[in-house]
Amino acid sequence: MNTQKRWLFERVDSIGIRILTPFTKDTVEASEFEGLKDEKRLSSKPAIAAIAGDSANFQTDEFPKEKETVLRRMYDHKSKGLNEAQLLGSDYILCFGHTTRKLLDGLIKTVQSGKSGKKTKAKIININEGNWYTGIDNKETLMKLSSQLKVALKAFAKKELSWERPSIAIANGEWRTLQVLVSRAEKENLLKEKGGLTPQKTWEKKGCRMMIVPDAENNWLVSISGPLKQLAGAQKLMDAGKA
């Protein structure tokens, strides 16, 4: 967004396919349950650190601290498992290895052959022929996997989303991106008209762009991208609860 001024994704979810949910429990055949866990698990801190890369990738030492904000959410993220809405409503589902692909194919087949006849628009893409992460927190192994993952994801983004590598570094883009987690009530307030305009339209008139998407634990993620001076004003309003 900082370099190309467009959202590459509307929303990104990381779910943990091997976590039992009411949906998977009622959908997958019993033979597929082996190894599934009926619990939510926190992200692996060593794995996230390996993916994060050099802090110089973002301007992390000054407002709005983009990278720290993303990493803080990632470290606090719990794998929550798959629900029907995600399976049926996603444009893409990226999976990592044959085992996961088999489980996803089984879920889709069961849902689409059921009485409801529901269909998914999701395109399932196996990012790697093997299996990525097995809980081994060896730094050397994680760094190798991280490098392979980045190459695979860039190839996906280029082919499916018409992504182009920016000619300048993210930190050198004209824009910055402020991200704030808000409650449902605060989110509704962002969508209300004030003086004929919603806050979202107001920020767009100031040359910024706002996106609001659901996040975990009934929170909503508000992202505002634009010139640094405008974001400083947005931060003050968010802090004051007046947005």
pLDDT over 50 (residue 30): no
3-state class (DSSP) for residue 77: coil
Model confidence at 236: pLDDT above 50? yes
Indicate if the pLDDT at residue 241 is higher than 50.
yes
Structural domains counted in the chain? 2
Give me the CATH number covering residue 225. 3.30.1370.10
Q: What pLDDT was estimated at residue 223?
A: 92
Tell me if 168 is assigned to some domain.
no
pTM over 0.85: no
**Same domain flag for 134 and 230:** no
Structure tokens at 237: 């309003």
Whether 180 and 115 share a structural domain: no
Distance CA 159, CA 11 (A): 18
Which of residues 7 and 29 earns the better pLDDT score? Answer: 7
Q: Report the pLDDT averaged over residues 11-23.
A: 81
Give how far Cα 147 sits from Cα of 36, 40, 139, Å: 28, 27, 12
Task: Based on the fold, state whether residues 43 and 151 are members of the same structural domain.
Answer: yes
Reply yes or no on whether the pLDDT at 243 is more than 60: no
Q: Which residue type is seen at 1?
A: M
Same domain assignment for residues 26 and 120: yes
35 part of a folded domain: yes
Residue 224: give the domain boundaries.
Answer: 175-240
In a domain, 199, yes or no: yes
Residue 7 covered by a domain? no
Are residues 142 and 183 located together in one domain of the fold? Answer: no
Query: Quick one: 64 exposed, middle or buried, by C-beta within 10 A (0-12, 13-18, 19+)?
Result: buried
Claim to verify: residue 155 and residue 217 sit in the same structural domain: no
The letter for the amino acid at 240 is A
**What span, in angstroms and rounded, lies between the C-alpha atoms of 152 and 147?**
9
CATH number of the domain to which 104 belongs: 3.40.50
Q: What does the pLDDT look like over 54-66, one tens digit per residue? A: 766 676 567 888 8
